[in-house]
Amino acid sequence: MAVAVAAVPVLALPAVPSAAVSYGTPTITFSAGYLSGAVGAVGDPTVGVTIAQSGAPASALTVAASGSTRTAVARTGDVTVTGSGGTRTLAVAAQGVGYTDLTVKVTGLGGKTATRTLHYAASPAVHDSGASRYLTGSSDASAAVDAGGGHILVGDDESNTLRLYDRNNSGAPVRTWDFSAALGVSKEIDIEAAARVGDTVYWTGSLGNNKDGKVKPDRHTLFATKVTGSGADTQLSLAGSYHGLRDDLIAWDSAHGNRYGFAEGSAEGQAPKQIDGFNVEGLEFAPGSGTTAYIGFRAPLTPAVTGGRALLVPVTNFPSLFDGSAKHATIGEPIELDLGGLSVRDLRRNALGQYLIVAGSWAAEDNSAPYALYRWDGRPTSKPVKLIDLPTGDAGAWEAVPDVPDLDAPGARAQLITDNGSADLYGDGTAAKDLTHPEWQKSRSTWFTLG
């Protein structure tokens, strides 16, 4: 007889997906944790934002500001993030002067998020904001020359670092150089002037005492750099130095009846920025010459009284000082220029033999006294002609002009750069040179139409 076998029920197993999706927590990093801007600025510096999330394409992530500690400085809606890949660009439009911490959030797939804080500082609006840009990483620009390709080399009177900047855009230097060790200096050179001939740029310290009147030998340094490449590819190498020009000038003046009071003005205890002080802020070569350099003085005036003339002293064997072929400078007949009672703050020549002189007070550290731009032909008997009065309502002292356009061309424009070291940029009573974050330190460049 057949035996019936009971059917065994088959249990249905849950379906297993072929590939389970799991998203990690997103990551977010900044190219810099500190950012500076200005009210009303055009093309302020930006920060790069790098984002990622495991299991998700970068294009699926979104980035936006989610908080601000001081909306009077910048609101979340003032933060713009552009780009669609793993690296985005963040910009801020300042509303007011001061500091704020901006919270920036990345949102990934699966609703997962991460945040990071950007420390932001905004300086006041300035005249000619549309023609102004900001050179960050230093606030004390004091000398500049053209590097070609839309870039400039800039010296700083608070450090010995040379910086290469994109002259048309705000932001940090493209690259930097510090030749202190090779020059044998440990303190600031107080770089105040530069001049370029061919592939050589000559740089000079102020040659003066420090602000307390102390003699500081490192400030007596002149050095030369050789340029290779141009634009963003510019490279510098040290090409010589000279430390005796201060002594040469004093010795020459003493041998000529103390005509300008160099020995007294440079003596221990004498502050350099006095009407009868000793302080160099200009350097450029004479018309048609690559050997005779004009040394432009901020102080003294001649005579050393209100309304006195500005002083240039020619050094006729200038390049020979750097290659060791000359032991001392050969001094030519000084040139006295009527700049309306102002002194030389910078001096620059173009290939046409046209000069621009940035003129300012021997005393002013900022915008508290007049500044003007003069045209000159470089000849001792010619009188400079004032082109424009420079604005003084904004922070900073006009200190540098990188190059000179054809001054006879209609609409000729020149770029000038401020030293902002003494400026209170963010309304907290802190001088820019004392700010602890280099991204918040900045000088300003502005293009001026001359004709």
Per residue in 128-149, pLDDT tens? 999 999 999 999 999 999 999 9
% of the chain beyond a pLDDT of 90: 93
User: Which domains are assigned to the chain?
Assistant: 27-123 (2.60.40.1080), 129-449 (2.115.10)
Instruction: Provide mean pLDDT across the span 316-320.
Output: 98
| pLDDT confidence band for 161 (50 / 70 / 90) | very high
pLDDT at 3: 41
The confidence score (pLDDT) of residue 183 equals: 98
Q: What local confidence, expressed as pLDDT, does residue 451 receive?
A: 74
Mean pLDDT of 166-192: 97
Q: Which of 239-243, 305-309, 360-364, 369-373 has the lowest mean pLDDT?
A: 360-364
**What pLDDT, on a 0 to 100 scale, did the predictor assign at position 369?**
83
| pLDDT reported for residue 12 | 46
The pair of structure tokens assigned to 331 is 């001094």
Tokens matching residue 5: 């076998």
Mean pLDDT (the chain) is 94
Cα 212 to the center of its chain, rounded Å: 25
Task: Report the C-alpha gap between 62 and 76 in whole angstroms.
Answer: 15
User: Burial of 57 by CB count in 10 Å (0-12 exposed, 13-18 middle, 19+ buried)?
Assistant: exposed
Torsion-angle region of residue 307: left (phi > 0), alpha (psi -120 to 50) or beta? left
239, pLDDT greater than 50: yes
What does the pLDDT read at residue 365? 66
89 and 3 Cβ atoms separated by less than 8 Å:
no
pLDDT at 20: 53
Residue 325: predicted pLDDT: 95
| CA 27, chain centre distance (Å) | 33
| pTM, two decimal places | 0.93
Give the mean model confidence (pLDDT) for residues 161-179.
98
pLDDT of residue 368: 72
Q: Give the pLDDT confidence of 43-97 residue by residue, as tens digits.
A: 999 999 999 999 999 999 999 999 999 999 999 999 999 999 999 999 999 999 9
Inform me whether the pLDDT recorded for 11 exceeds 50: no
- The pLDDT of residue 8: 41
